[in-house]
Each structure stands twice: as structure tokens, then as C-alpha cells.
């Protein structure tokens, strides 16, 4: 019997190194390596679902913490689940609220029993524990749910790092029992475990051993993209992926710069998510092969070329750098929309190009040569 969620590894059977795969969910397939835009409150800011499809998006991430506060998981369930509520018929992954443990420090209290968030949004406080986080995600109806974890800052003291690592594993054991009580993956929702441990190889290895023993449907590397240098993040991936089962999907949380997607895919990551393409778009920062364009700069005032020659996105098909700069300076919302659409298409094209070369069996040296030629502004020296 085919399960509602299934990951098939098509190429790359080594413990580490680039991989090509395919994930099947109740709401369709996404090919890996894959980048998922973030629709925090059931909306990728300023972008219609049809525009996401046109950009090549196949998977979205939504936020458990924010949706539990507004509009509430009960209303989403009454509406028929997130897919109907937001008119997106493709796969959805929901995070657990663990990132808010990091981002809302000072407005939450963490114990082994769970997290108490102070009332800062929608006029309400929120309590999350391993069971409650999965109950909310069950009601939201996502295809992939995440266990609750504690995400510490990258520069925290060693004792705090070890504490977050220990607590995350404690919560993972509880969450796994809850997921099985709810019917497991056969119910239609996969659940992924999350590894914490900073850049400590021993903690990452221990996290992998415990979580693999719990037999999750996939595994996520958390605790990155929280202020650490890029090389530290990439090294963390290098020391972690060899300890994860090759047959399960590997997810690097919160990473979205083009160079990081490429480098971490070469290190064995299948799935990424980040707010970067749309947040940068709203802040007038544009991804192009030569690096980044700061579209408000005066040099673009009379630049009537598209953002990127040959790009099929709506911004590049129809508008010039000069026009988009005018919109940005005039604070017109269309500026952020057009730049977001371009950035989304840029990352999807990068992922598609990488998948095509992985299907051909290109070795790492050839992949790096392709990346340097096509994305010279992002390639490592």
C-alpha cells in the first residue's frame, strides 16, 4: 500500500553529497532539491496562489504559532483546512512554533513541559507543548508537520545549547507518541523530527541517533540561520547529514540565499525554506546571477533593461529596472510584488537547474563549474 507521504531517493545513495529525490504527499508531489517559500499567515505576502505556481513553486510553509493566534486553528479546520482556506492545492509544511522560541526571546517562558508565549499578537497568550503543537497542525491540515523544538541563539553559552538539545529530544519523544496516537503517517500527515545542537558535532550526532531511533518520516536540521557565519552553517550541515538515513528526506530550516541553497544541496540537503526572496523583494533587494541589485540606487534611474535578461517572470517580461526603481521610491506596493515574484522565480530556476544536472549524474566538480558559469556573483571563490 502506498502511504500518503512517501519520499523516493532517485540519485545519491551516499551518506552525504548531492541527492535527487521526489516526495509524494496527499496534495501532490514536490521534487528535490526543493525550495519552499514562506506563507507565515497562510499568505506569501503580496503573491497570489496562481502566481506562485507560475513561478514554479510546488511546496509552501505556513506558521503554526501565528495561525493559532489568528485566525485560530478551529476556524481553519471549519473552512476545510489550510489548502481550501488559502486556495492553495499543493503540498504545505507547517512549522511547530519552535522558531518563535528563538525570535520571541523575552516574551516567552520555556520549561520541559512546553513554552508559554506572552500575549503579544491578537491579544492572546499561547501555550505550546509537544501535543498541542501537533494538535494545531492536525487541525490546520498540513501535509508535513514539525515537532516542537527549542531553537537557541548561535552564540549562547554551552550549557544553554546542551539544554536546548536535551529538551528538543525530550519533546521529540513525546511528539512521536502523540503522532502515532493520532494515526501516524497513514492519517495523511507526516511528521519530521528536528535536530538541535549548534555546531557541536557530538550533540548533532547524538540528536541524529535519538531521532532516527524514533523513526520519523523525515529529519530537519534546526538551529541554523540564527546569526552564525555562513561557513559555520555549512559546516554544521557537513557534520550532520552523514548521521541521517539516506532514505528519508532531509530539511534545512530557514535558509534561502542562492549560494547557501547550492552549497547545502551539495552537502546532502533535500529541502529548504526561507522568507528571504519575498522579504528582500519588499525591501528592494533583487537576486540576479551577478549577485544582488539594490534597485533604489541612482544608477538604475535610466536603466531600461529588465531586472535579469531572459527571465520569464512578470517583472522581467513587462518592466524595466527604471520603472521598478520609480515604484520603489514612490513606495508603491507593486514594487515589492514585482521584486518578490522575480526572486521567487530566480530560486525556483536555480533548484530546477540543479535537479536537471543531478538527474544526469553530474559529479560535484561539474556542478560547481555550472554554478560558477550561471551564477557568477554567488559562487564561492
Active site residues per annotation: 95, 273
| CA–CA dist 187, 3 (Å, integer) | 9
CA distances in angstroms from 148 to 65, 99, 156, listed in the order given: 11, 9, 20
Look at residues 121, 119, 197, 204 and name the one whose alpha carbon lies nearest to residue 164.
197
Q: Which residue intervals of the chain are DSSP H helices? A: 49-54, 64-69, 73-78, 82-86, 98-103, 130-140, 158-181, 201-214, 230-240, 258-266, 276-282, 314-318, 321-329, 333-359, 364-374
The 3 state secondary structure assigned to 37-71 is EECCCCCCCCCCHHHHHHCCCCCEEECHHHHHHCC
Angstrom distance (rounded) from CA 135 to CA 182? 9
Q: Considering only CA atoms, which of 128, 165, 129, 134 is closest in space to residue 150? A: 165
Q: Distance between CA 82 and CA 67 in Å, rounded? A: 10
Grid coordinates representing 178 are: 502523540
Which residues, in sequence order, are bridge partners of residue 88? none
Amino acid at each position: 500500500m502506498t502511504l500518503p507521504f512517501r519520499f523516493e531517493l532517485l540519485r545519491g545513495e551516499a551518506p552525504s553529497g548531492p541527492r535527487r529525490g521526489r516526495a509524494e504527499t496527499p496534495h501532490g508531489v514536490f521534487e528535490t532539491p526543493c525550495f519552499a517559500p514562506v506563507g507565515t499567515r497562510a499568505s506569501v505576502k503580496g503573491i497570489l496562489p496562481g502566481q506562485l505556481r507560475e513561478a514554479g513553486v510546488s511546496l509552501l510553509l505556513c506558521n503554526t504559532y501565528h495561525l493559532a493566534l489568528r485566525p485560530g486553528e478551529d476556524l481553519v479546520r471549519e473552512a476545510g483546512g489550510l489548502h481550501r482556506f488559502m486556495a492553495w492545492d499543493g503540498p504545505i509544511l507547517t512549522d511547530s512554533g519552535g522558531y518563535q522560541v528563538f525570535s520571541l526571546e523575552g516574551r516567552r517562558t520555556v520549561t520541559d513541559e512546553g513554552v508559554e508565549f506572552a500575549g503579544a499578537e491578537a491579544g492572546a497568550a499561547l501555550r505550546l507543548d509537544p501535543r498541542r503543537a501537533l494538535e494545531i497542525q492536525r487541525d490546520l491540515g498540513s501535509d508535513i508537520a514539525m515537532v516542537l523544538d527549542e531553537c537557541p541563539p548561535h552564540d549562547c553559552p554551552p550549557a544553554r545549547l546542551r539544554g536546548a538539545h536535551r529538551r528538543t529530544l525530550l519533546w521529540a519523544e513525546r511528539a512521536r507518541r502523540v503522532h502515532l496516537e493520532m494515526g501516524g503517517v497513514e492519517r495523511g500527515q507526516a511528521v519530521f523530527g528536528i535536530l538541535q545542537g549548534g555546531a557541536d558535532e557530538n550533540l548533532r550526532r547524538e540528536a541524529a541517533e535519538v531521532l532516527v531511533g524514533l523513526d520519523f518520516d523525515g529529519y530537519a536540521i534546526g538551529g541554523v540561520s540564527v546569526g552564525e557565519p555562513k561557513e559555520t552553517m555549512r559546516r554544521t550541515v557537513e557534520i550532520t547529514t552523514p548521521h541521517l538515513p539516506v532514505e528519508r528526506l532531509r530539511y534545512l530550516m530557514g535558509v534561502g540565499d542562492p549560494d547557501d541553497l547550492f552549497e547545502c544541496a551539495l552537502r546532502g540537503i533535500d529541502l529548504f525554506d526561507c522568507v528571504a526572496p519575498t522579504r528582500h523583494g519588499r525591501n528592494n533587494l533583487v537576486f540576479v546571477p551577478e549577485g544582488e541589485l539594490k534597485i533604489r540606487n541612482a544608477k538604475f534611474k535610466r536603466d531600461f533593461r529588465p531586472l535579469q535578461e531572459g527571465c520569464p517572470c512578470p517583472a522581467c517580461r513587462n518592466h524595466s529596472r527604471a520603472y521598478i526603481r520609480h515604484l520603489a521610491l514612490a513606495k508603491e506596493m507593486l514594487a515589492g510584488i514585482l521584486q518578490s515574484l522575480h526572486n521567487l522565480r530566480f530560486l525556483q530556476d536555480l533548484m530546477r537547474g540543479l535537479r536537471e544536472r543531478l538527474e544526469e549524474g553530474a559529479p560535484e566538480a561539474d556542478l560547481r563549474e555550472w554554478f560558477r558559469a550561471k551564477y557568477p556573483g554567488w559562487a564561492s571563490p
